[in-house]
Every structure is written in C-alpha cells, then in structure tokens.
Structure 1
Amino acid sequence: MTRKLVTVSVFGLIGAAILISLGVWQLQRLAWKESVLAEIDARIAAAPVALPATPDPIDDRYLPVAAEGTFTGDPLRVLVSVQGSGPGYRLISVLETGGRRVLVDRGFLAEGVALPPTPQGAVTVTGNLHWPDEIDSFTPDADIARNQWFARDVDAMAAHLETEPTFIVLREISVPDAPITPLPVTAEGIPNNHLGYAVQWFGLALVWLGMTAFLAWRIRRS
C-alpha cells in the first residue's frame, strides 16, 4: 500500500511539474510576443520614407511610406464590416507615382453611401506597406462583374489592375476624400493568446494535483 501511494504521488508531481513548465513557457512566449508587438507599433508610427524601389513583403511589412502621384481608374471594392459602422467596403485605388503603378487602400466606405469622385490631380499619400493575409479555403472568388472582392488579395488585385504588387494602407491624404474613412494598419489584429494558454496550463496543473491528492486520500483510507 505504501508503494502504491508513493507511485501515485511521484506520478502526480511529475505530471504537475510538466504542466507548470508549459505554463511558464507560455508566459515567456507572452513576453516575447509583447516585445514583437511593441516593435511593430514603433515601426508603424515611425516617420515615413520614400517608397522603396522593390518592396519586400517580409522586410518592408508595415514600413511607413509617403508617395506623390495621381489616382487613376475606378477603385476596387473589398467587402468588410467595421465595428460601430456596420458593413461597407474598403476602396482600393491605383496610384501612378514616378512611372510606377501601386495599390492604395484608401479606407472604408459605408454600405449605401454613394461612391465619391476619385481625387483629381496630384495627391500625397502617407501610409504603411502591407501584404494582408486574408485568404483561406473559405474565401469566395472575387465577383469581377459586380466589382466585389472578399479579401485584400494583393497579387490578384495587382494582376487585375495591372500594377506592381505594392500595397499602401492609407493613413493620411493631402486632399479631402470624405466620406471615405482611412483604416490604418495597426498591430491590434495580430493574435496574442499566450496568457490564455498559460492560464489553461496552470489550471490543468491544479486539477492534476487535486486529482492526485484525492487518489492518495482514497489509497490511505483503504
């Protein structure tokens, strides 16, 4: 009986130690992720620079840029819902700048609001380079005939509008563009669930210890 009690106790302590170590690891991951998010926030808010000649989707993600040029053509509409504003569209326009054609996410237009005229003449846009990861196996194909897209697929939009796959998410524009509201890049959409995972592991450790104590009590009684 004593050997059985020792076996249960050792097994319980080893299991709890493993669960606690997983919780500690998640807390370490939390600190790392918060550091990464702080770096991203600092990068997003930095002073804008000129548009790189060949932007890289990895190295230049979130890079703040400023570009001067003219909008051309009709914008693409990407279906989106904004908290507090309801459904609507992101408007994606072509900016011709320095002999280049790039994509600009001008912001949100609420459903039912008439599409305003595209700003004419020279404009200066300030924003962040971005390559959104919004495509999965459930994303419908774009309805080209109705000009309705369901995700910001940079490569597909660039091919459709005959631009380079460079995507600027607008923060500011030098001319009035109401009723379009810019939706700047932020770090808010980047998942950070490590605290929740840590709580789960620590909770499992407590349950494991409780079950071990209960089993040990039953053994002692018998």
Structure 2
Amino acid sequence: MKRYIFPLILGVVGCAILLNLGFWQLRRLAWKEQMLAEISAQIAGPAQDLPTEGTDTRALKYTPVMMAGATTGAEVLVLSGQKGVGPGYEVISAFETGEGRQVLLDRGFIPEAARRSPRPGTALIVAGNLHWPEETDSYTPAPDLAAQVWYARDVPAMAEHLGTEPVLVVAARIEGDTQGVTPQPIAITGIPNDHRNYAITWFSLAIVWAGMTAFLLWRIRRQQI
C-alpha cells in the first residue's frame, strides 16, 4: 500500500489544483460577461453633451455624446488595418465645436491609398462615444511626426500635438461630408474574453492528469502481481 500513497496524493492534489483553476476561469467568465453587458448598455445609451472643459474623461470611457462643429483640417493618422480591405489608417482630427472648444475626433478608417487625399476642414454633426484607449507600451514606436503617422492612439500626446483638449470622441455616426472616412464605432468585439477557452484547457488537463494517475496506479499494481 505504501507504493500507492505518493502517486495517489500527487494525482488528487494535481487534479484539485487544475479543477480549481478551471472553476476560477468560469467565475472570471461570468464577471467578464457581466462587464461586457454593462459596457454594451453604456455604449448604446442616450447621447449627452460633451463633459465640461477640464473633466478627466478616463472615468467617462464609452459615454455616448453628440456634438456639432467642424474639423479644422489638422489631423494625425494612426496605423491600422481592416479585414477585407487591408492596411490603412485611423483618422484622428482636431474638431472645433460650436462653443469654440477643440477636441479629438476619431473619424474612422481610410485605406492606404487614401492617405494623401485632401481632408480640409468640414462641418459635421457627430454621434459617438468618449474613449481613452490604452494602446501604448514601452515597445510602441514613437510617432513619425514628419509623416503625421502614429502607431497607437495616445490621447494626451495627440491632444498636445494638435492643440486640443485631451478628449477623444470615436465617431459612430456622422452627418456631413465624411471625405471618404468610414466610421469605426466602439464595440465590445475588441475586448478579449478567452476565459471559456482557458477553463476548458484547465479541465482537460485535469482529465489527463487523472488518467495518468490511474495509469500509474495500474502499473504499480501490475508490478506487484
């Protein structure tokens, strides 16, 4: 019996750890699905005016807003891509509201071929959502200011460069001349939610571990016969 104790303990403890990790991922899945449902409801909520000047919009991420005014013609292009279209850019324009405030407007996507197309200032009515992307890290290249090409949406840096408030509105619908820019509304599809796959992986490993334990115990029993 002593020969069975160690592999049995190892098998039980290993299975317990793996099952616990699987159930933890299921709890994370429930939490993430609830969070995504809340974000979806917030994105689709009633539109509001822009928050007052000086408001930190990080806490207002996804809030729907409506604004009228015009782009100034100043913009930066953020390297991007679109399935079925290929490489291109997100157009981030300086936008002046009717009250004289200037904010950042993510107008949407253009393909690579439209990079040098003229986009002078134009009057627009925009329905969109406040956003504060977290796309930069220590590996993000510095923007190519000469070419006006950026590699991530960095709200404070783009606002300083274009001379606007650090407020970014991602357009969902635009009334007016879009100048060939296709809006890319905020959606939860870009938020990762792999907890179900992680849970399946841990539960599968638990089954394999249990099978290996049973096989080892069987081998020990065969050796004793």
TM-score (norm 2): 0.92
Partner secondary structure for residue 5 of structure 2: helix
Q: Match for 1:40: what amino acid? A: I
Percent identity of the aligned residues?
Answer: 50
In the TM superposition, residue 116 of structure 1 has moved relative to its aligned partner by: 4.1
Gaps of 5+ in 2: none
* Corresponding residue for residue 37 of structure 1: 36
1:20 maps onto 2:19 in alignment: yes
Contact 1:119 1:175 in 2 (8 A): no
* Corresponding residue for residue 150 of structure 1: 151
Gaps of 5+ in 1: none
Which residues of 2 match residues 85-96 of structure 1 at below 5 A? Answer: 85-96=85-96
In the TM superposition, residue 59 of structure 1 has moved relative to its aligned partner by: 2.1
Which whole-Å CA distance do the structure 2 matches of 1:65 and 1:10 have between them? Answer: 59
* Corresponding residue for residue 80 of structure 2: 80
In the TM superposition, residue 119 of structure 1 has moved relative to its aligned partner by: 4.8
Which residue of the other structure, out of 111, 116, 119, is the alignment partner of 1:117?
119
* Corresponding residue for residue 132 of structure 1: 133
Higher normalized helix content (fraction of residues):
2
TM-score (norm 1): 0.93
Q: Match for 1:159: what amino acid? A: E
Q: What RMSD over aligned residues (CA atoms) do the two structures have, in Å?
A: 1.5
Q: Match for 2:144: what amino acid? A: D
Contact 2:72 2:121 in 1 (8 A): no
Which whole-Å CA distance do the structure 1 matches of 2:149 and 2:9 have between them? Answer: 62
Contact 1:88 1:109 in 2 (8 A): yes
Partner secondary structure for residue 188 of structure 1: helix
* Corresponding residue for residue 194 of structure 1: 195
Contact 1:93 1:106 in 2 (8 A): yes
Partner secondary structure for residue 59 of structure 2: coil
Q: 1:115 to 1:68 in 2, by over 3 A?
A: same
Q: Match for 2:45: what amino acid? A: A
